[in-house]
A and B are shown apart, each in its own frame.
Chain A
């Protein structure tokens, strides 16, 4: 007993650990103030804003077409989806008809972008968990997608490709065939990742039952995308509020069961397969010729009012909210940033976990700081 009493008198202290903004696993410049006791997290306080560029405010001084390149820089891993989300909102507001071929090209590009983004998630997530190779593997597949994007848009990351009423350029000759060849190639690779990662015992131990939350919590925090679907709640805007031409395709919405980090990883893998299905069908249905840019007024003026439309981005519901007073510039532009919303649950998830789980949980949220900070 004497020993025990002595041990009780040892003074212990909580430690304040500053994770980030320069830290290899915060996916950019995210900062987390963590209060730890030993390796157990007592409290976590996220600090964001290191990459804040004031996109929303800048947009108030820009004409609608000028805003498009700014959206590239929000979620820089899924620029096509950002492009589309903004253009789509303006098109809805003005009731602009988009030509068939442009609509199909957009869908192909968006789904390819989703695959590229999910690939990077898998790579970085495994890197967070200490496996180095997948990170380098995914860049090989992503490189093919980026090359295809480069051929059609002339850029590898910030495409600035979508226009209000269509897309900037038609696909160069032979481009669609290259995409067609990419689909089976990618299917094989998804199989490879499945067999390489999903069955790894250490990976399962690290992610199963870690960072669990239920659908109610997720909904209360306004989560969307894979973060919501991992709890088993069926919500995909491509299905629930079909935009563009998504009602013409046959694809499944994979759902999780446990709401843990493993489900979030696995849904990314499954969604890549579904995106491939959509790309394949779009390639079959796309008209051979036709305009790619619809009839749009020279100077775009949106009638006074409030307009919102959201799409299923790579990370959840990506929406643009435009308040217009009838001028050629928005009075106010509000972006619904899925990464930002999904991040809000983090402090609650981290309490009581240890430091290693911190990285696993943060990584599974799949944030892009360009979007969180906007």
Chain B
């Protein structure tokens, strides 16, 4: 059975390849399952916080509500606006969607990381791939040939680019401490203490930048409902719209996984099995996002930009310098 745990270190033969395929399918299913219940719990938690009940009709406690919604989206007519750039319009959700699944490949779910890759540049891989999604969002906004979508797409591109930088810099502090870009090594380096303690500044920057990257309240400008109606996906219907939503919720899962891995010790923890610890940390991060959504109003676009460049970036740089100096001394 040793090969099963070590398949990523063995040369590519049929058996490891089969293992990879099975692993990929399982991650895919985990991702979809997480998204389904992310949506359900988002609506439920928001409902509780707002004195409502939330979905409770489909299945016991409304547990099958998300399935019904997805099914509804799948059987809807796939409308392409007449004046839209047809090929780009059809392609954009795919461009946005594929990287969101690919980043899951490097997140170590548990100690054995049997389903995911033990990539030596894991952190970099995540950042690089997640940046591709911006193209999908921007192209979707552009190709829709709708003014609201265009503004939403442009805002989205500007926002995600601006916040990618502090996000990346906050990551570098952790990488410096662990001495590796490999997410498994980063988790292993947190055996003594979680990086959230020495990297508290970096963690705060990460938290804000991650929220902005995910387009969540208070940084949900690209789809600011009260201004841009729905932002970049205003013209999308049916399963293409579902793809955009799926992308967002998958990224929330992936970002939660990244946060847990980088700052909260990943699957490390006493008594409970590793995957459960990982799940608890991910759930906590996701809950935090829901909580923010129920609490905060939205920033204005110019405030958003100046906040990234004038506050987050200097703080992230400061954190980096402090980490480097301490690391060199100790």
Contacts and interface: CB of A to CB of B under 8 A. Distances in A.
B229 A206 contact: no
A295 B150 CA distance: 64
Contact of A203 (B226, B229, B297): B297
Contacts of A185: none
Contacts of A18: 147
Contacts of B293: 132
Contacts of A39: 151, 301
Interface residues of B, number: 29
Interface string A107-139: 000000000000000000011111111001100
Nearest to A205: B303
A40 B217 CA distance: 23
B220 interface: yes
Contact of A137 (B51, B148, B298, B303): B51
Interface string B289-329: 00001111111111100000000000000000000000000
A205 B299 CA distance: 8
Interface residues of A, number: 29
A25 B52 contact: no
A126 B229 CA distance: 16
Given A15-B147, A137-B51, A131 B298 contact: yes
B18 interface: no
B182 to A, nearest CB: 38
A143 to B, nearest CB: 11
Interface string B190-222: 000000000000000000000000000110110
Interface in B224-242: 224-229
Interface string A336-358: 00000000000000000011111
Contact of A133 (B49, B225, B226, B299): B49
A126 B297 contact: yes
Nearest to B150: A15
B226 A129 contact: yes
Given A127-B226, A359-B226, A354 B298 contact: no
Contacts of A136: 50-52
Interface in A237-268: none
Interface string A1-31: 0000000000000010110000111000000
Nearest to B155: A39
B229 A130 contact: no
A23 B225 CA distance: 9
Given A17-B147, A355-B227, A356-B224, A129 B297 contact: yes
Interface in B258-274: none
B300 A356 contact: yes
A354 B226 contact: no
B210 to A, nearest CB: 18
Nearest to B221: A356
Contacts of B303: 205-206
Given A17-B147, A39-B151, A130 B220 contact: yes
A127 B217 CA distance: 12
Given A23-B229, A359-B227, A202 B50 contact: no
Nearest to B300: A356
Contact of B218 (A23, A25, A130, A356): A130
Interface string A180-218: 000000000000000000001011011000000000000
Contact of B226 (A25, A137, A200): A25
Contacts of B51: 136-137, 140
Interface in A80-113: none
B297 A202 contact: yes
B303 to A, nearest CB: 6
B301 A354 contact: yes
B294 A132 contact: yes
Contacts of A354: 300-302
A17 B146 CA distance: 10
Most buried by A among B227, B293, B296: B227
B229 A205 contact: no
Nearest to A34: B147
A25 B224 CA distance: 11
Contacts of B52: 136
B218 A137 contact: no
Interface string B146-159: 01100100000000
B151 A355 contact: yes
A200 B300 CA distance: 14
A78 B84 CA distance: 44
Nearest to A200: B297
Contacts of A132: 46, 50, 217, 293-294
B296 A131 contact: yes
Contacts of A15: 147
Contacts of A137: 50-51
A356 B302 CA distance: 9
Contacts of B295: 131, 133
Given A128-B226, A133-B294, 17 more contacts: A25-B226, A39-B301, A129-B226, A130-B224, A130-B297, A130-B298, A132-B217, A133-B295, A137-B50, A137-B51, A202-B299, A354-B301, A354-B302, A356-B227, A356-B298, A357-B300, A358-B227
11 contacts: A18-B147, A131-B296, A131-B298, A132-B217, A132-B293, A133-B295, A203-B297, A206-B303, A356-B221, A356-B224, A359-B227
Interface of B: 46, 49-52, 147-148, 151, 217-218, 220-221, 224-229, 293-303
Interface of A: 15, 17-18, 23-25, 39, 126-133, 136-137, 140, 200, 202-203, 205-206, 354-359
In the A-B complex, the 6 residue pairs with the smallest Cβ-Cβ separation, listed nearest first, are: A130-B298, A131-B297, A136-B50, A129-B297, A25-B226, A356-B300
